[in-house]
Structure 1
Amino acid sequence: MKSRNKYLEILCLPLIAITANLITSFTGFLSYYLNNIVGFSVVLAGSFVTAFRIWDAVTDLGMGYVADKTHTKFGRFTPYILIGGIGTVIVGQIMIYIPPMLPEGGVRKVVFVVLYMLFVVFTTLQASSLRSTAQVCIKDGKGRATYGMVNGIYLTIFYTVVNVYVYSRLMPATRGFNLQFFKTLIRVYTLAGSVCLLIYLFFYNKYDREAVKQEEEKKTEKISIVDALRLFRTNTPFRMLILSAGTDKLATTLQGNATIVVIMYAIAVGNAKINSAVNSYTMIPSIIMILLGLGAIGRKYGAKKSMLVSSWGGAITCVLSILLWIFGDFRTLSFPGFEGFTGWNAFTVAYLGLFVIMKGFTMIGSNVLNPMLADVIDYEYYSSGKYCPGTIGALFSLADKVISSLGPTIIAILCAIIGFGGVLPTAEDAFSVPLFAIGILGLYGFSLFGLIVNIICMKFYNLTPEYMQKIRMELNNRTKES
């Protein structure tokens, strides 16, 4: 990366993650659209969200394979990013506006499913470069750690802004998850995603073109579908990364799931806006932890060390947080500037402290994955001679999305078991122990499981900074010889 553009590029390249996470965030509310507007039952709505995510993963795999065979003067991914961005904006609006105009019943459901499947195809195209950005644009370990750090800061700010906007502004204005809520949400999301995508593409395109040119000069071996599937068997660091990423994404998806937010804050605490307050108060401390975790530990000791430290820290704070909610008076949770605040209390202070630490640790673990995946791509090229950033990124997304797609179905089934088979829980529902148990599982239980998986996986992940330095030296020598 050229020094004169280094800092500006490192600030703009991670914007692709915002575009992708806008879609993930939208999916978190989709069960309510399917249930309240399209007309699916709770379990079917949750199951369809899971099925859509699997379809998303399948399109990722196809996109990765196609991208690795694409060589144009505009680059490998750039044409797909542009087509996908335009398609996402157009189909996204149609998908929300058209189904409610149709008669209730089968026609409305079928039309929505077809439109959403098309929407997923376009979002896959626009985010096709997501997983390979760090590897294509940044070649050194410290640079990749910095990329992960900036990515983590952006996502921390993003989820804070989204929570404040949705639960403190949009929901009160529309009075629930109704059609007006989704019309406004899709407009805001597609506009914000398009801006981030265009800025990202401006800086990414030259690296995309250079990568295609270098590959043509080096004449690297092509990868087939058989080779791609072989990666699961032969590339141990890749398998470990998939398990870590999948379980972490499942936990993150459940933490941000609208039903979990409603249960924990609207029903248990008694004020849905508290979720906005929590994210607002924890944003700056979480960013500081990301700076320390990826900026200090990651740049100095490598991604693996960052993952281990963050996983142990996150697991401990998860356990303490669960105990606090079980034995503490969660009804007293309140913050200045929000309804019901009468002064700081023991539960609020303890909850805030633990949430800051847990969120900081989990964000470190989540955002070190992209730099680690970049190392895996280099390792595969080193060990097999096959350069396949698109395919490896797609396989990673496939496994990641299949695992994380289970979240909405899990919540829907659990809610149906305790009596919410027709409609999902809302702020008007009474508090109950079964609802509270579902909320605790969503907010902390799956996070704890994912963090334990991380710790186990890192025992088998062997791409240390020293080993990666050896790999990069070998790859540089191959480039000089070709």
Structure 2
Amino acid sequence: MKAKTREINTDGVQYRKVSNARLILAMSHAASIGCFTSAIGYVSYAANLGFGIPILLVGTLMTIARIFDGITDPLVSLLVDRVNTKFGKLRIFMSMGWLLESVSIMALYQWACGRGHSVLLFMVLYLLYYIGYTMQNMAGQMISPVITNDPKQRPMVGVWNTIYTYIIAIVTSMAVAVVLLPRFGNEYTLELLGIVAKLMIAISFLFLVLCMIGISPIDRPENFVKSESQHVSPKTMLNLIAHNSALQRFVIAATSDKLAMQITNQAIISTVLYGIIVGNMAFSAFLNMVAIIPSFIFAFVSAKYTGKHGSRDSITFWTRICIYVNLIFVLLMFFSAHTAIAAHPVAMVAFVVLTLLANGLRVAVSTGTSSMLADVVDYEAARSGNYMPGTVSGVYGFIDKLVSSLGALIATACVAMIGYTTTAPQPTDSKTMPIVIMGTFLVYVVPIIGWVLTLIALKNTPITKEEMVEVQKKIAGLKREEE
């Protein structure tokens, strides 16, 4: 069975496309790995409750693990770009990664949790998770540049990636906050963590199967053949980092945003915002569920905008609006600083409207970012003659994870500054001014800093709409020369 691809001629370039159904199935990878991302978000509670690790030390251990995660990216990417079996490569690495992640989550949340084991065992199991995550994620990131290079369809890869990620995050958080957490008195317990682990693994497996069905026609040796002159090595990576200005600027833009998201997505920070400042933990899941529809609208609008104006202009356009919205959020937080937002009708309405808008705008930025990473892969192929999606993703992932590894440390250190040194914040805690100030800073001010860095980094990037047309022409010329 061959992939049902078709070629179109635009701007003098032959672009390849796949059917929408094929694209939707292939990008279900994002849902599969998103389940594990949601599950590992509760690891601070597993460490504190199940292994007896103080919350401040948990932040340090999580930072070490994220650094380790970053180191595995270039190592795995080198392996991925070198392996090319008759069964392809993507499905092999996805399956191996899924298995390691599943074993790790079950051990962390149930098999070894609450049995008096040491910090050392916790770290071994936690690092095992990141090895598996890297293998599955690295293979998934290669889907985008391989499946299509059409500038109008490529943003749709980001759309479906975002939709899957968003739905999984919403559904899983709602399942925990609305269904499971109330059953345990709104307290995180070891039994709750065990249920979370089994649920996430089961859902992840379903989407893994769907993804494999979608990529089976493109996951073939002929789609990953390198030229005889291409040899992927650590030296290749160094050359990539030193001389690819598009990658350099993309990394600054993407990692600054990612660090902010890593901080705000920590479970303890969600507890601070919704459980304490807003005053209704369950409402967070409901609000995120309601936000699905406007976020999808933003995703498709952003895809159209990206296809018309290019990934750079799309990212910078939506990023500027994000900054304005978060500034309004800061004012709202201090307007309702002395009472729970849920108890103030005007503040609550404003919070809901702004949250829906902010979620949609983040999806719009994410759509452009996904498209730009694939553009960077093609830019490198035109620049050096080497088509190596795994290596480009690995280099980006390495730097991205080194920076974003600070997220957990920053989050735990900040909550420790307001008194949470040995225990984690709980939804039943009282609202105080230090909590409001710290919560506002972490959730709304830190992202603004990241977005400003994004605008600065992308100002002179070579990834423009016009330049990418020339890139595709050059790649086509290189292919003709090899033939």
The residue number in structure 1 matching 2:254 is 245
Tell me whether 1:144 sits opposite 2:154 in the alignment.
yes
Please state how far the C-alpha of 1:5 moved relative to its aligned partner: 5.8
Question: Aligned AA for 1:168?
Answer: V
Per-residue CA shift, 1:381-433, capped at 9, x if unaligned?
Answer: 11111221111111111111221221111121122222221111112322211
* 2-structure distance, mates of 1:60, 1:172: 38
The alpha carbon displacement at 1:228 in A equals 0.3
Whole-Å separation in 2 of the counterparts to 1:5 and 1:330: 54
Indicate the residue corresponding to 2:276 in structure 1: 267
Taking the TM superposition and a 5 Å limit, the aligned residue runs for 1:66-77 are 66-77=79-90
Matches within 5 A, 1:21-40: 21-40=34-53
Q: Does the 8 A contact of 2:226 with 2:387 survive in 1? A: no
Distance in 2 between residues matched to 1:72 and 1:454, nearest whole Å: 39
| 8 Å Cα contact 1:218-1:479 kept in structure 2 | no
Match of residue 46 from structure 1: 59
Q: Counterpart in 1 of 2:390?
A: 390
Aligned residue for 1:299, secondary structure, equals helix
Gapped regions of structure 2 (runs ≥ 5):
7-16
SS in 2 for 1:141: coil
Of 314, 324, 327, the match for 1:319: 327
Q: Which of 222, 229, 232 pairs up with 2:238?
A: 229
Please tell me whether residue 8 in structure 1 is matched to residue 11 in structure 2.
Answer: no
Give the corresponding residue for 1:203.
214
Name which of 281, 291, 295 aligns with 2:290: 281
* Equivalent position of 2:300 in the other structure: 291
Describe the superposition over 1:87-142 as per-residue Cα deviations: whole angstroms up to 9, x where unpaired: 3323432332232363x3xx432222212222221222222212221101112111
CA contact (8 A) 1:332 1:347 kept: no
From 176, 181, 187, the counterpart of 2:198: 187
The structure-2 alpha-carbon separation of the partners of 1:417 and 1:226, relative to structure 1 and needing over 3 Å to count, comes to: same
Please tell me whether the aligned partners of residues 237 and 460 of structure 1 are also in contact (alpha carbons under 8 angstroms). no
Who is 1:337 aligned against? none
Q: Is the deviation greater in 308-317 or in 42-51?
A: 42-51
Return the offset for 1:345. Answer: 3.0
Deviations 1:282-309 (CA, angstroms, capped at 9, x unpaired): 2211211122122x21121111111011
Moved more, 152-161 or 369-378: 152-161
* Number of aligned residues: 468
Q: Which residue of 2 aligns with 1:88?
A: 101
Q: Call closer, same or farther: CA 1:96–1:29 in 2, change over 3 Å.
A: closer
The one-letter amino acid of 1:116's match is Y
Contact 1:38 1:100 in 2 (8 A): yes
Cα deviation, residue 220, structure 1: 5.0
In 1, the alpha carbon distance for the partners of 2:238 and 2:37 equals 26
Query: Which one of the candidate residues 181, 184, 187 is aligned to 1:174?
Result: 184
Aligned counterparts of 2:158 and 2:94: Cα–Cα separation in 1: 21
Give the equivalent residue in structure 1 for 2:317.
309
CA contact (8 A) 1:27 1:49 kept: no
Query: Quick one: distance in 2 between partners of 1:22 and 1:243?
Result: 27
Query: Cα distance 1:217–1:135, how it changes in 2: closer, same or farther (>3 A)?
Result: closer
Change (3 A) 1:404 1:183: same
Structure 1: give runs of 5+ residues left out of the alignment.
335-339
- Take 1:220 and 1:8, find their aligned partners in 2: how far apart are those partners? 36
Q: Which amino acid aligns with 1:459?
A: K
For residue 126 of structure 1, the aligned residue among 136, 140, 143 is 136
Q: What secondary structure does 1:142 align onto?
A: coil
C-alpha contact 2:46 2:108 (8 A) present in aligned 1: no
Q: Which AA in structure 1 matches 2:19?
A: K
Instruction: Give structure 1 regions of 4+ aligned residues with deviation exceeding 6 angstroms.
Output: none
Change (3 A) 1:345 1:101: closer
Preserved contact between residue 65 and residue 390 of structure 1 (Cα < 8 Å): yes
Matched residue, 1:348: 348
Q: Distance in 2 between matches of 1:87 and 1:411?
A: 27
CA distance in 2, matches of 1:214, 1:40: 47
Picking from 88, 91, 110, the partner of 1:78 is 91
Once the 2 structures are TM-superposed, how far is the Cα of residue 208 of structure 1 from its aligned partner? 2.5
- Of stretches 130-139 and 20-29 in structure 1, the one that deviates more from structure 2 is 20-29
Q: 1:5 to 1:239 in 2, by over 3 A?
A: closer
Instruction: Using the TM superposition, name which of 463-472 and 84-93 deviates more.
Output: 84-93
Q: Tell me if the contact between 2:339 and 2:431 (Cα under 8 Å) persists in the aligned partners.
A: no
